[in-house]
Structure 1
Amino acid sequence: MYSDPFVMLVKVIFNLFLFVVLLRLVLQLTRADFYNPISQSIVKVTSPIVLPLRKVIPSIGRLDTASLVLAFSVQLLTVVFVVLIKGAVISPASYAIYTFAGTLYHLLDLYFWAMLISVILSWVAPGANHPGALLVGQITAPLYRTCQRVIPTIGGLDLSPIFIFLAISFLKQVLAPYSI
């Protein structure tokens, strides 16, 4: 998959932290349960960096711009380290494109996995009260509602996950060449 083990190691470490930061951002945007133990853990892990950033970068409405700036910064660091390890030289515009596209790609990846977990839970454990299941439901509910406005259920069958998966997969394919 990766030709250089150091590139793989850098990407895994930074992408795991980026996942947590993006999850914090999504939890705040969807107004997920703050008292959920998983939400508390995510906040606890990211607060040492996000709270000082909030003093400098104010929120815009429901958008926590400090978390967004942190997500872009983590992705930028990933790009910088991968470029340094590979010994390549890219322009500042390329850094911006790889940072933006990579962050968006990982956000779509987060939603892809949340949707997949949501669909599997709807088959295996509908109405589960596990904190993880509740959190996944709160994250994916806005996507379902948006899609269900356009595509109604047919005979009790909700087709919105299919169209959401298609949209996410299409967007990820578009962004894949520009994400590191």
Structure 2
Amino acid sequence: MLTLHKALNFLIRNIAEFFVLLLLVRFYLQAARVSFRHPLAHFVLALTNWIVLPLRRIIPAAGRFDTTSFVLALVCAFLMHILLLLITPWPFILTSPLSLAALLLAAFVELVKMSLYLLFAAIIGQALMSWLSPINPLMPILNALTTPFLRPLRRFIPPIGGIDITPLVVVLLIQLVLNVLIGQLEILILQRVLIAA
């Protein structure tokens, strides 16, 4: 029984997080005004168009932000947390307003966490490609995604020996937020889900 629970937990979390990541990538690519002609963008569109396009009639875009993708990512994270709770042995009261609010907040924290993972991967990818393959067609996408976070730091942190260390600073900050803040916040929020007496 414990093995089945672990397997279900693994499948639910990984499938849901993969779909959340796809929707967030779509959201951030559009926000950064990245061309969707790149194969990576085509891949993201192919896997998300089936649900994003029909719902776009109901949830319109807010300027350059693809609100539909963001809302769907939030709903997917919310459903993931509900499913994960349903397979636990504890009798949670999911219909309570406090429980629903806690699950919605946990879903939002999940989006923040996934966004930080995406930024982490983009910065690492950009740093590696700048050394190994600076003319790689993926570089403009990575630059568009990382520049808003690196540019402010570059005003205060000059290159050392001709090497830009701002990606390292951002990676350290991301690790700090993920390990110290997000992990504890998720636990505190999910403790607010009411348990049946």
TM-score, scaled to structure 2? 0.81
Contact 1:32 1:135 in 2 (8 A): yes
Query: Structure 2: any 5+ residue segments left out of the alignment?
Result: 191-197
Task: Write out per-residue CA displacement over residues 45-96 of structure 1, whole angstroms, 9 at most, x where no aligned residue.
Answer: 1111111221111111221111110110110111011111113426122202
| Contact residue 21 and residue 46 of structure 1 kept, 8 A | yes
Q: Does 1:176 align with 2:183?
A: yes
Shift of 1:99: 0.6
Residue number in structure 2 paired with 1:61: 63
- CA separation in 2, counterparts of 1:84 and 1:119? 41
SS of 2:42 mapped into structure 1: helix
Segments of 4+ moved more than 6 angstroms: none
Q: Counting helix residues as a fraction of each chain, which structure ranks higher?
A: 1
Q: 1:122: how far off?
A: 1.9
**Shift in Å, 1:164:** 0.7
Separation in 1 of the partners of 2:12 and 2:44? 21
Contact kept, 8 Å, 2:129 with 2:136, in 1: the verdict is no
3-state SS of paired residue (1:86): coil
Aligned-partner residue type, residue 11 of structure 2: L
Amino acid at match of 1:129: N
Taking the aligned partners of 1:15 and 1:115, their CA distance within structure 2 comes to 20
Say whether the 8 Å CA contact 1:128–1:134 is kept in structure 2: no
Q: Give the corresponding residue for 2:77.
A: 75
Q: Provide the C-alpha distance between the structure 1 equivalents of 2:39 and 2:8, rounded to a whole number of angstroms.
A: 34
User: What is the Cα deviation at residue 116 of structure 1?
Assistant: 1.2
2:104 equivalent to 1:96: yes
**Aligned partners of 1:73, 1:116: CA distance in 2, in Å?**
29
Decide which of 105, 111, 114 is 2:122's aligned counterpart. 114
How far apart in 2 are the matches of 1:34 and 1:47?
13
TM-score (normalised: structure 1)? 0.88
Query: Partner amino acid for 2:160?
Result: I
Kept in 2, the 8 Å contact 1:21–1:70? The answer is: yes
What residue is the counterpart of 1:128 in the other structure?
135
- Give aligned pairs, total: 177
- Deviation digits for residues 23-66 of structure 1 (CA, Å, limit 9, x no counterpart): 11111111112211211221121111111221111111221111
Which of 127, 139, 157 is 2:163 aligned to?
A: 157
Larger radius of gyration: 2
Task: For residue 155 of structure 1, report the CA deviation from its aligned partner.
Answer: 3.9
Unpaired runs of 5+ residues, structure 1, are none
- State whether residues 77 and 110 of structure 2, in contact with CA within 8 Å, keep that contact through their aligned partners in structure 1: yes
